[in-house]
Amino acid sequence: MGKQKKPTKGQSISDAKAARRATSAASSAATAGTSMSALFASAARGSANAITPYVVSAFDRPRCDLFAAVTVALGAHQLSVWDTRTGALVATLKPPSPSTRLTSLAWCQDPSLPSDAPDDAGVNGEDANSSLKRRRASGGGGSGKPMPPSRLIAAGTMAGEILIFSVARAVLVTTLTAPASSKSSSVSSSLAPTAITGICVSATNRRHAFSVAASGDVVHWDIASKTVLARFNADSQLASRVALYEAAAAGGSGAAAAAAAAATSPAKLMVAGHQVRLYQTPDEKASTPARVLKEFVGHASQVLAVKFSRSGSLCLSAAAQDRFISVWDCDASSNKPNVAALTVDTPPVDLDVSPADRVLVLDEAGVVCLWNSATPSSTRPSDPDAASGKKARPSATPTRKPEAVIKLSLVPHRKATNDAELTADAASSARPAPILAVSFCYDDRVMVAYGNSLVPKFER
């Protein structure tokens, strides 16, 4: 194989990187048009959904050093974890039963470690090195750096359990069993009301996590003791996502700063289904129940993602078959629901908000749309596409199209004798690369997983 020369100035950075790295043309982008209930229905059948090849996936924000995705092999779900720095598969985690269906993911830390322990606590210990050898021996690969033993991943199941795996040891370490729900799901007969559709973990206390089930049941967990600290029903059809905002996590480090922030600004929880509700979470001892701060009604379809801004004053939500990303006002003293609506040409798959409040959305066409800020700088006219018959928002809500987009292309490796030949060959043989997942990292850079779902490639 001939050595590839550097691309010419006319070739984009993304295309140049993909051209150097790709070994074959990627498969076409996944089919659009799947509703949220169909996504979970596919999980119940044991297959990946029709928007991405993965049942569900997650980067370990904010570092984005690891990427986890649920794939289907011989009708059974398995959880694969890749090192995004090397592309190596570092762990393959299997549920206890082949019939277990995984419906949600969330990264977390070992709750037995002190709250101020670093994420890579014990990385140089013998246990970590032994774990790496075991992963390599079992075919899990490795990047040459021992996996932090504190790194865990929680996976919600259709049966209402939360399975917590150690990535370093590639084993199931604990199981949380949700209390039985008194409500049933009236949205999809393929989705059990017990299905854990969303999980979020506290950034200030690694023992604490929240989960939401399709029935609307929200559970506040103590992961270490496997006990339920609090429970309430969000009374939302097919509740599908949950997000936690903690001022202590956003405001600074240190126990004193965390305590001061928590005292002045209690944690807030957003639960999203057909309705989107903002709650003040109960305190650590659960002496006070969760109470509704605000309620939003803006999505006719099921919510795919919900994210808070850094200040917690805004929350964004994206829904299936809805080209508008809603930006909600989370100030409990304000009666204003919508701040803005971010528009995309193709319905979204996922969204993320960076530490600097930048916004990205991955759509069904495999395009990443970017906004420099979630809030409008001034009042803007309503979406011009509304005139063409597409769904429109009230004119009082300003709408904003993306300020930038990311697209990737893959070309086969071929011998090129000069830069002009390389550029011409790339232009003629390039094919769109399916973007599988995206996320912001701690430094506001965008992490992209793309290409073959079984052997994904990563760009930061």
412-444 residue pLDDT tens: 666 555 566 555 555 566 677 889 999 999 878
Indicate if the pLDDT at residue 397 is higher than 70: yes
Mean pLDDT over the full length of the chain: 74
pLDDT at residue number 249: 65
**H helical segments located in 295-418:** none
Residue 107 CB partners (closer than 8 Å, separation 6+): 58, 59, 60, 61, 66, 68, 151, 152, 153, 154, 201
pLDDT at residue number 284: 60
- pTM of the shown model: 0.76
Residue 9 CB partners (closer than 8 Å, separation 6+): none
CA 286 to chain centroid, in Å, comes to 28
d(CA 287, CA 268): 16
Better-predicted residue by pLDDT, 61 or 53:
61
Provide the percentage of residues in the chain whose pLDDT is more than 90.
36
pLDDT at residue number 362: 93
pLDDT tens, position by position, 21-46: 433 333 333 322 233 344 444 444 34
Provide the percentage of residues in the chain whose pLDDT is more than 70.
63
Q: By the 8 A CB rule, do 160 and 198 touch? A: no
Indicate if the pLDDT at residue 48 is higher than 80: no
Taking alpha carbons only, the member of 371, 353, 351, 376 closest to residue 361 is 351
Indicate if the pLDDT at residue 87 is higher than 90: yes
Q: Which amino acid is at 59?
A: F
pLDDT tens, position by position, 320-354: 889 999 999 998 777 777 778 899 999 999 999 99
pLDDT at residue number 417: 58
Tokens 């040409």 belong to residue: 345
Phi and psi for 296 in degrees, rounded to 5? -120, 140
Helix, strand, coil percent content, the chain, rounded in steps of 5: 15, 35, 50
Residue 250 CB partners (closer than 8 Å, separation 6+): 261, 310, 311, 312
Q: Which amino acid is at 332?
A: A
pLDDT at residue number 82: 96
pLDDT at residue number 39: 43
pLDDT at residue number 458: 94
Taking alpha carbons only, the member of 81, 78, 79, 80 closest to residue 98 is 78
